[in-house]
Amino acid sequence: MRTAGRPRRFGKGPLRAVGLMSGTSADGVDAAIVDIAGRRIDVLAFETAPYRPDLRRQILQLCNPQTARVDDLCHLNFVIGEVFAEAVIRLARKARLALRSIDVIGSHGQTVCHMPEGRRFGRATIRSTLQIGEPSIIAERTGITTVADFRPRDMAAGGQGAPLVAYADHVLFSHGRRARAVQNIGGIANVTYLPAGGGIDKVVAFDTGPGNMVIDRLAERVTGGRQRFDTNGRLARRGRVSRRLLAELMRHQFLRRRPPKTTGREDFGAPFADELYSRARARRLSGPDILATATAFTAASIADAYRRFLPSAVDEVILCGGGSRNPALTDMLIALLHPGAVAASDDFGIDADAKEAVSFAILAAATVRGVPGNVPSATGARRPVVLGKIVPAGQRR
DSSP code string of 289-326:
HHHHHHHHHHHHHHHHHHHHH-SS--SEEEEESGGGG-
Q: What was the pLDDT predicted at 39?
A: 87
Range of the domain at 227: 166-348
Q: What was the pLDDT predicted at 328?
A: 98
- Structural domain contains residue 4: no
Asked whether the beta carbons of 177 and 157 are under 8 A apart, the reply is: no
Query: Does pTM top 0.95 for this prediction?
Result: no
Give 25-57 pLDDT, tens digit per residue: 888 999 999 999 988 999 999 999 999 999 999
Q: CA–CA distance from 239 to each of 2, 286, 289, 325 (Å)?
A: 59, 8, 4, 19
What 3-state DSSP class applies to 45?
strand
CA distance 1 to 390: 20
Which H or E run contains 268? helix 265-268
User: Does residue 326 sit in the same domain as residue 179?
Assistant: yes
User: Does residue 376 sit in the same domain as residue 326?
Assistant: no
- Structural domain contains residue 200: yes
User: Does residue 317 sit in the same domain as residue 170?
Assistant: yes
Q: What was the pLDDT predicted at 6?
A: 45
Give 67-121 pLDDT, tens digit per residue: 999 999 999 999 999 999 999 999 999 999 999 999 999 999 999 999 988 999 9
CA distance 87 to 78: 14
User: Does residue 183 sit in the same domain as residue 273?
Assistant: yes
Which H or E run contains 47? strand 40-50
- Structural domain contains residue 2: no
Q: What was the pLDDT predicted at 288?
A: 97
- Which of these, 29, 32, 6, lies nearest to 364 by C-alpha position? 32
User: Does residue 294 sit in the same domain as residue 192?
Assistant: yes
Q: What was the pLDDT predicted at 10?
A: 75
- Structural domain contains residue 10: no
User: Does residue 157 sit in the same domain as residue 176?
Assistant: no
User: Does residue 266 sit in the same domain as residue 331?
Assistant: yes
Q: What was the pLDDT predicted at 8?
A: 62
Burial class for 286, CB neighbours closer than 10 Å (0-12, 13-18, 19+) = middle
What 3-state DSSP class applies to 154?
helix
User: Does residue 141 sit in the same domain as residue 197?
Assistant: no
Nearest 5°: CA angle at 133, between 131 and 137? 145
CA distance 321 to 314: 20
Amino acid symbol at 202: K
Burial class for 311, CB neighbours closer than 10 Å (0-12, 13-18, 19+) = exposed
- Structural domain contains residue 287: yes
Low-confidence ranges of the chain (pLDDT < 50): 1-6
Q: What was the pLDDT predicted at 265?
A: 84
Report the DSSP beta bridge partners of residue 145: 104
CA distance 300 to 255: 10
User: Does residue 173 sit in the same domain as residue 278?
Assistant: yes
- Structural domain contains residue 277: yes
User: Does residue 134 sit in the same domain as residue 72?
Assistant: yes
User: The domain that contains 45 carries what CATH number?
Assistant: 3.30.420.40
User: Does residue 114 sit in the same domain as residue 179?
Assistant: no
Report the DSSP beta bridge partners of residue 148: 107, 389
User: Does residue 44 sit in the same domain as residue 94?
Assistant: yes
What 3-state DSSP class applies to 131?
strand
Q: What was the pLDDT predicted at 1?
A: 38
- Structural domain contains residue 30: yes
- Structural domain contains residue 373: yes
Give 213-227 pLDDT, tens digit per residue: 999 999 999 999 999
Domains identified in the chain, total number: 2
